[in-house]
Amino acid sequence: MKTTSLGDDFCLTLITNDAELAADADRAGVNRIGIDLEYLGKAERQPGQDTRLSHHGWDDLSTISRCVQQADLFVRINPIHPGTEAEIETALELGAKVLMLPNFRTAGEAATFIRTVRGRARASILVEMAPAVVRIREVLDVPGIDEVMIGLNDLHLQFGVANHFEVLASPLIGMLAAEVLRKGLPLAIGGVGRVGDTAMPVPTDLVYAQYPRLGATGAWLARSFANTVLSPGDFQPAILALRKRLNEWAAAPLNELERARVELAQNAAKWRPALSRASHSVA
């Protein structure tokens, strides 16, 4: 799906419990803003890694909901467990419009999530575990899935490669993207940093090029994005610059997109992340 309006329509999601940041992001045109409830098993499966261990709670969702006027309220719940129904019901009561299921392995788990949501919010599944990748066609056959995100941090751990950029440049992501698009579902992948952010381990521009190449139309805002915007007044220009650059990449010829993929893979091969580099996380 190659379109020069990719950036204009690109769905950006910010996870935060910072009310001021949420309000700035809302004014800047970030599409979804919300919290991350996921904690079950995450520290164990991502030991010492640069990941989102947010420790957010329901009070945070209530606070964010009061700050957001335009964006959809977002919640990433825990993996399927005995408290899943209660989590979903509480999120809906507090106004969540988009719910995401992480860390699932089977189509049955995805189906449980969809059955529990019952169409009362947009249902997004986060493909980040190797068993879910192997079973991707079975998973995508579950009726009621509204969209799919590919989670790069867990996948790089699952497959034993150096970093999430290596996964993004790999044929694996091309295969997953093709399967999602074949089902006609919106696809989001990983996270994006700020245009020209030289603190990132690989050039952000090479990451942007992967979205039109893969047909993806959404991503997280990486924590580095907010960390490198110097003042609230800088947030909107930074978002506009991101969208503009995505539009430019969407207009690029296929050989340029492939060149960027190769260059991303080369950069990824040289980078070995430090264990505490939290600003680079896109989990």
Name the maximum alpha-carbon separation found in the chain: 49
Banded model confidence at residue 265, pLDDT cuts 50, 70, 90: very high
C-alpha–C-alpha distance, residues 61 and 117, integer Å: 18
What's the whole-model pTM score? Answer: 0.90
User: Distance from CA of residue 89 to its chain's centroid?
Assistant: 23
Other CB atoms within a 10 A radius of the CB of residue 55 amount to 11
Calculate the dihedral angle through the C-alpha atoms of 223, 229, 234, 236, rounding to the nearest 10 degrees: -10
Mean pLDDT of 239-264: 97
Domains contained in the chain, CATH given: 6-280 (3.20.20.60)
Quick: pLDDT tens for 154-186: 999 999 898 999 999 999 999 999 999 999 999
Query: E strands of 39-198, at which residues?
Result: 72-76, 98-101, 122-127, 147-150, 187-192
Mean pLDDT over residues 225-236, rounded? 76
